[in-house]
Each structure stands twice: as C-alpha cells, then as structure tokens.
Structure 1
Amino acid sequence: MIRNILSLLHKNGYVKGNVGKNGGYQMILSLAQCNVGELYDLTIPPTISYARFITGKTSLLEEENETHETEIESNIAETLTDLFTLADQDYRAFYHQFTLADLKQDIEHHGYFQRKIDEQ
C-alpha cells in the first residue's frame, strides 16, 4: 500500500525517488504547496471511499416467502449511499482548507486547526 501511495505521489510531482536497495523518496514541493485535500483526493479517490449500501433479500428462500417490498426496503440503499456521498463531499472540502504546513503547525502547536477555522 505504501508503495502504491508513493508511486501516485511520484507520478503527480510531489516526490522524487528511486526504487531498490539504496532507493528512497524525497519531497519536491514545500509543505505549503501540498494541499491536504488534494493529497486525500489523490490517494483515496471518491469512487473508492463512497459507501455502497446493499440491502434487501439475502437468500432465495426469503424472496419466495415475501413477494412484496416496502417503500423503505426498496429505496434505503440508494438513500444511505446519497447521504454518505454528501457527507464525504463536505469532509473532502474541509481538508482542502489546509496544507501540510498547517499540519506541521498543529503538530508543533496543538489547536492550530481550530484557531485557523475560528479566524475564518
């Protein structure tokens, strides 16, 4: 998994590096140039993170015994997927407010993110 992420970062110009025994990776961009949201989107695309809820009959026997579905039963999977998708979009937008430089600031001075949000 780490190799896959490093490969993505390399292909998108965030790091340079070499594979192999004496290989390694190094950041090309400054921390201020690396947006947390962009990195999140790059490494965890929305199509992977969006939940797909599956509901309904779990066996043929259930289908034979129940011939009708309720409105809730027939629509809940799409509704839950829509709800999760909207929440994930907001989550991603939140991350786009910050850079890795902000992350470093919060590591050094816990509470930095909250202060930054409060200032906006």
Structure 2
Amino acid sequence: MAEVIRYTRAEISKQDGKDNRKLWIIVKDIVYDVTTYLHEHPDGEASILEVGGKDATKDFADHSSDAKKILAKYKIGEIVEEEKYYDANGKKKKGVVSTDAEQGGRGCMSIITCGLLG
C-alpha cells in the first residue's frame, strides 16, 4: 500500500486553478486534484473554481453519492494531522470552527497581523 501524501492548507491554497496552476480542493481533510475534471463539472467551471485551493467540504455536502464516487478518483493525499478539522470517522473535531480564510475571506490571524503591521 502506498504511503499517503500529506499537505498543509497553505500548500493547497497555492493550487487554486488560476494562471495555469493545478486545481486542488479539500473535502473533509482529503485533498483532491480536480484539474482534469474542471471541464466536465456539470455545474460549470466557475462553481468549482470558487473553491479552488480551499476547503470545499461545506460546498460538497449536498452532492450525490455518484458525485462522491467521482471525486474519490481524484484523491491525491490528506491534510497534515495538526491541521485536520475532522476525525477518522469524518466527524468535525470538537473545538474546530470554520474560519473566514476557509471561505476565502481574511481569517482572524490575518486581521491581527495586518493590524500589527499597519
């Protein structure tokens, strides 16, 4: 069995599908390279590009079992242990809250850092 490749959220954020970069997404701490699927996405490219390089768990929650089977083909790794939001059963870990950064906004650390630097 091959060893699982682990990625940080920062590494994944660089693969947002823009400027000829790969298109990676995270769903429940699993990393998927959906670059080749982009043109096949039934809802169009824009909807999947919105979550490129981000955690798409919330966006993917209402997808069909067929969509989940398709997604499984694109798995390339997992999030590093210290950055995981979910346990081994796919349940959100206690104390983990969604961040603005997860949704493409500025997380509290960014705001604090900007305030200190600004």
Per the normalisation by structure 2, the TM-score is 0.30
Structure showing the higher helix proportion among its residues: 1
Q: Which structure shows the bigger proportion of residues in strand conformation? A: 2
- How does the TM-score come out when normalised to structure 1? 0.30
